[in-house]
Amino acid sequence: MSIVTATKNSIAIGGFDGMHIGHQKLFEALGDDGCIVVIETGYANLTPKKERENFTHLPIIYLDLDDIRHLNGQEFILLLKDKFPKLQKIVVGYDFHFGKNRKYSFNDLKNIFDGEVKIIEEVSMQGDSVHSHKIRAKLGIGDIKGANKFLGHNYTIKGLLEKGQGIGKKELVATINISACGYLTPKEGVYATLTRVDDEEHFHPSVSFVGHRVSTDGSFAIESHILDGEILCKERAAISFVSFIRENKKFDTLLELKKAIDKDINIALAELRLLQL
Q: What is the pLDDT of residue 171?
A: 65
Per-residue pLDDT at 113: 94
Q: What pLDDT score was predicted for residue 1?
A: 52
Q: Which pLDDT belongs to residue 2? A: 64
Backbone dihedral region of 214: left (phi > 0), alpha (psi from -120 to 50 degrees) or beta? alpha
- Is the Cβ–Cβ distance between 246 and 190 less than 8 Å? yes
Model confidence, pTM: 0.93
Task: Compute the average pLDDT of residues 37-42.
Answer: 94
CB 94 within 8 A of CB 122: yes
Planar angle of CA 220, 221, 223, nearest 5 degrees: 170
**Distance from C-alpha of 187 to C-alpha of 139, rounded to nearest angstrom:** 6
pLDDT value of residue 102: 85
Is a pLDDT exceeding 90 seen at residue 163?
Answer: no
How far is it between the farthest Cα atoms of the chain?
Answer: 70
Looking at residue 167, what is its pLDDT? 63
What average pLDDT does this structure show over 12-16?
97
Whole-angstrom Cα distance, residue 193 to residue 191?
Answer: 6
**The three-state (H, E, C) secondary structure of 140-179, written as one string:** HCCCHHHHHHHHCCCCEEEEEECCCCCCHHHHCCCCEEEE
Share of the chain above pLDDT 90, in %: 78
* Cα 74 to Cα 186: distance, rounded to the nearest angstrom: 41
Q: How confident is the model at residue 229 (pLDDT cuts 50, 70, 90)?
A: confident
Given a cut of 80, whether residue 275 has pLDDT beyond it is no
Measured CA to CA, the distance from residue 39 to residue 79 in angstroms comes to 13
CA 237 to chain centre: 15
> Phi/psi of residue 274, each to 5°?
-65, -30
Neighbours of 276 (CB within 10 A): 6
Q: Which of 35, 41, 43, 20 is nearest to 102 (CA)?
A: 41
Residue type, 123: V
Interval 71-130: pLDDT, tens? 999 999 999 999 999 999 999 999 998 888 888 888 899 999 999 999 999 999 989 999
3-class DSSP state for residue 263? helix
Q: What is the reported pLDDT for 25? A: 97
Q: Is the pLDDT of residue 277 over 50?
A: no
